[in-house]
Amino acid sequence: MTTHYFIALPIEADEFARIQREVLPYYSYRRVYRPDEFHLTLQFLGALDDDQVEAVREITKQVANETRPFTLTFEQIDFFGRPDRPRVLTIIPEASPALTAFVSTLRGRLHDEVPGLDRKTFVPHVTLAKKWDSGHVVPHMAPTFHVTETIDAAVLYRINPSHTPAYEAVDVFPLTRSEEDTWRSRLKFLT
């Protein structure tokens, strides 16, 4: 079995788990994501050899070093597939110029360097559940929420389908902070 990889933004908001618990009774899925698996995929990489993994690491590190931390705001549940039996249940962020610029630069450089990468259009989302099981969606009112997530790193994940959790962080790429932000962060721990 070949090892597959992807680059993503880890999503750590406890609020996502609450939203997931609130909406899942109205749906029927075989695969429900655990809170420690929540992420926003930037680029699916598929199977890579060691040289390609190293190239991905270098490119991701460079782009992360050129990108300042930013925030994403989530207020909407969405899905992929049919409305009565959506194959993937998601939470989507509001439009973000910072996310768009980061992803555009990262994917552009990856596609130039690593041949054969998935070139599907980037659709930002955090998956809550996937693989529809049976029946139809039970009519319900979607919960209202407003979740702000600070994005300060990207992660290279390896997929281990037979493990729990299925996604293993291989490398973390902190986004560059300004000198002022770095000092502010340090002062927070010194005071």
CA neighbours within 13 Å on the CB side: how many for 10? 21
The answer, yes or no, to whether residue 189 has pLDDT greater than 50, is no
Structure tokens at 172: 């973390």
CATH architecture for residues 4-190:
Alpha-Beta Complex (3.90)
Using the Cα atoms of residue 29, residue 34, residue 40 and residue 43 in order, give the sign of their dihedral: negative
Q: What is the pLDDT of residues 44-101, one digit of tens each?
A: 999 999 999 999 999 999 999 999 999 999 999 999 999 999 999 999 999 999 999 9
Report whether 60 contacts 45 (CB < 8 A): no
pLDDT at position 89, please? 96
Q: Hey, which residues does 165 pair with through a beta bridge?
A: none
For the annotated catalytic residues, the residue numbers are 39, 125
The total number of residues written for the chain in this structure:
191
- Any idea where the domains of the chain sit in the sequence? 4-190
Nearest of 8, 25, 7, 42 to residue 129 by alpha carbon: 25
Q: What percent of the chain has pLDDT over 70?
A: 92
In terms of C-beta distances under 8 Å and separation of at least 24 residues, what long-range contacts does 176-181 make, across chains too?
176/64, 176/65, 176/66, 176/67, 176/68, 177/68, 177/69, 177/152, 178/68, 181/69
Q: What is the pLDDT of residues 5-38, one digit of tens each?
A: 999 999 987 899 999 999 999 999 999 999 999 9
